[in-house]
């Protein structure tokens, strides 16, 4: 409704009073939204739709930004455990952002005191209060677009001859200072920390800043890899070392690459065969007989490739889930009910949420509720 005319006709005092009434209404609506989000999660409705998480649901179905979705999910889960939060939000003594910052730190003993202390405080003040009793959280894993900045090798003074000081916090002059963690999303964890769905990724020539925290063992292995790669990359920048490491990893775990390798081996074998020099051991690599519920490696990879490395769940509106995380191979007819493990037609890729949903459909609602409760407990304790 366009109420511009109404606003313009109000006196100053009426305008302020009307605005305050709207804000109070907004707070009540926020509480209603949090309660409904909790119920949607309890009923697992996001996975009935095409979404693999509440986070994806809030963005795709409700149109929230990533930050807005994360704040509401964290606040809703916290308020479910500590209903006092609903009253404080409704009364305006604490904001949604504040609750999402506090959420990971609240427990039965401290929640009332912390909510009292943080009443009316800014995000930065709340950050300071939280740092008193818990170590500063490690930075979230993140990928930030930098535009078409030059790569470190193009920056004067960072040429290949100069060994990089490893004790520094970054591997190049490109790394920018971290934004204040009081931006309202510091409490993000689990699903909210992944790259935004639908992010097109960097364009050709564009640089990104990748931030994550690691333990000493990771640092030791990174340093060891840098030492071993000095001949290949004298500067041994993190990007070069990790790019090589990722190539080696993907060669091992990526079904598409494994299948390409098998195809090339198979071609080689058939060429040798036509020469009359086939190696029987090599030919055996490409065959795989199923035994029981074990899915032959080659069939497993074929299912990955057919389903394009994406969850194959289609909701009742005909929309396919877009999740590429936590994918598992699912038996359409379960092995326990006589379903085949060596027929691609009985196999498909499903994300964890939809795998669980299918299991619940087949094995019963009780199973689904128990699994959902378990998952919620893990999220809270995790
Ligand atoms: Zn899915």
Count CA atoms closer than 13 A to 102's CA, side-chain side. Answer: 32
Note the helical H segments in 137-254.
216-228, 238-253
What is the structure's pLDDT at 313?
Answer: 95
Alpha carbon of 322 to ligand 1 centroid (Å) = 7
- Count of domains for the chain: 4
C-alpha 38 to ligand 1 mean position (Å):
20
281 and 305 inside one domain: no
Instruction: Determine the pLDDT at residue 180.
Output: 31
- Please give the structure tokens belonging to residue 279: 């190696």
Q: How far is the CA of 39 from the centre of ligand 1 (A)?
A: 20
> Do 263 and 327 belong together in one domain?
no
Please state, in angstroms and as integers, the Cα–Cα distance from residue 277 to each residue in 71, 259, 265, 266, following that order: 65, 23, 14, 13
Distance, CA 42 to ligand 1 centroid (Å)? 17
Q: How far is the CA of 46 from the centre of ligand 1 (A)?
A: 10
Say which residues have a Cβ less than 8 Å from residue 285's Cβ, sequence separation at least 6: 262, 265
Q: What are 211's strand-pairing partners?
A: 142
| Distance from Cα 341 to the centre of ligand 1, integer Å | 21
Quote the pLDDT of residue 68: 94
Residue ranges for the chain with pLDDT beneath 50? 1, 154-198, 277-290, 382
Last residue of a domain, one of 253, 272, 300: 253
Model pLDDT, residue 4: 58
Q: Say how many Å lie between the CA of residue 313 and the centre of ligand 1.
A: 5
User: Are 39 and 126 contained in the same domain?
Assistant: yes
Tokens 């994918």 belong to residue: 327
Q: Print burial letters for 286-315: b (CB count within 10 Å at least 16), e (below 16).
A: eebeeeeeebeebbbbbbbeebeeebbbee
Q: How far is the CA of 326 from the centre of ligand 1 (A)?
A: 9
pLDDT for 305 equals 92
Residue range(s) defining the domain that contains residue 174: 142-253
Among 228, 253, 278, residue at a domain's last position: 253
As a 3-state breakdown, the chain gives helix, strand, coil percent values, each rounded to 5, of 55, 5, 40
Quote the ligand 1 centre to 179 CA distance (angstroms): 33
Class of residue 92 by CB neighbours under 10 A (exposed 0-12, middle 13-18, buried 19+): middle
- Looking at the structure, tell me whether residues 64 and 29 fall in a common domain: yes
Same domain, 151 and 217: yes
Give distance in angstroms: CA of 105 to centre of ligand 1. 31
Tokens 């979404």 map to which residue?
51
């Amino acid at each position: 409704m366009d109420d511009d005319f109404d606003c313009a006709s109000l006196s100053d005092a009426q305008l302020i009073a009307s605005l305050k009434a709207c804000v109070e209404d907004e707070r009540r609506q926020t509480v209603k939204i949090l309660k409904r989000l909790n119920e949607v999660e309890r009923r697992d409705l996001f996975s009935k739709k095409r979404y693999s998480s509440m986070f994806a649901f809030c963005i795709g179905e409700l149109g929230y930004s990533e930050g807005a979705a994360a704040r509401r999910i964290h606040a809703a889960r916290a308020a479910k455990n500590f209903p006092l939060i609903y009253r404080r939000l409704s009364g305006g003594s604490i904001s949604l952002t504040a609750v999402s910052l506090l959420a990971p730190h609240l427990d039965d003993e401290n929640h009332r005191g912390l909510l009292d202390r943080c009443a009316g405080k800014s995000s930065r003040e709340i950050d300071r209060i939280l740092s008193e009793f818990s170590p500063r959280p490690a930075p979230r894993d993140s990928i930030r677009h930098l535009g078409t900045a030059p790569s470190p090798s193009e920056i004067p003074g960072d040429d290949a001859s100069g060994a990089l000081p490893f004790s520094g916090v970054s591997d190049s002059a490109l790394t920018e200072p971290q934004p204040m963690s009081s931006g309202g999303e510091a409490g993000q964890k689990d699903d909210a920390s992944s790259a935004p769905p639908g992010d097109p990724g960097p364009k050709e020539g564009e640089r990104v800043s990748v931030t994550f925290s690691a333990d000493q063992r990771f640092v030791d292995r990174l340093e060891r890899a840098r030492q071993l790669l000095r001949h290949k990359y004298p500067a041994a920048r993190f990007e070069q070392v990790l790019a090589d490491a990722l190539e080696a990893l993907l060669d091992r775990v990526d079904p598409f690459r494994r299948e390409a390798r098998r195809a090339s081996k198979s071609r080689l074998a058939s060429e040798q065969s036509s020469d009359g020099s086939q190696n029987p051991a090599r030919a055996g690599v490409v065959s795989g007989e199923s035994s029981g519920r074990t899915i032959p490696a080659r069939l497993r990879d074929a299912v990955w490739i057919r389903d394009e490395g994406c969850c194959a769940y289609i909701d009742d509106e005909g929309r396919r889930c877009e999740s590429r995380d936590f994918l598992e191979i699912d038996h359409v007819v379960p092995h326990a009910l006589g379903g085949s493990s060596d027929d691609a037609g009985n196999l498909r890729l499903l994300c964890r949420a939809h795998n669980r949903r299918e299991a619940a459909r087949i094995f019963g609602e009780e199973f689904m509720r128990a699994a959902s409760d378990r998952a919620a407990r893990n999220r809270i304790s995790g």
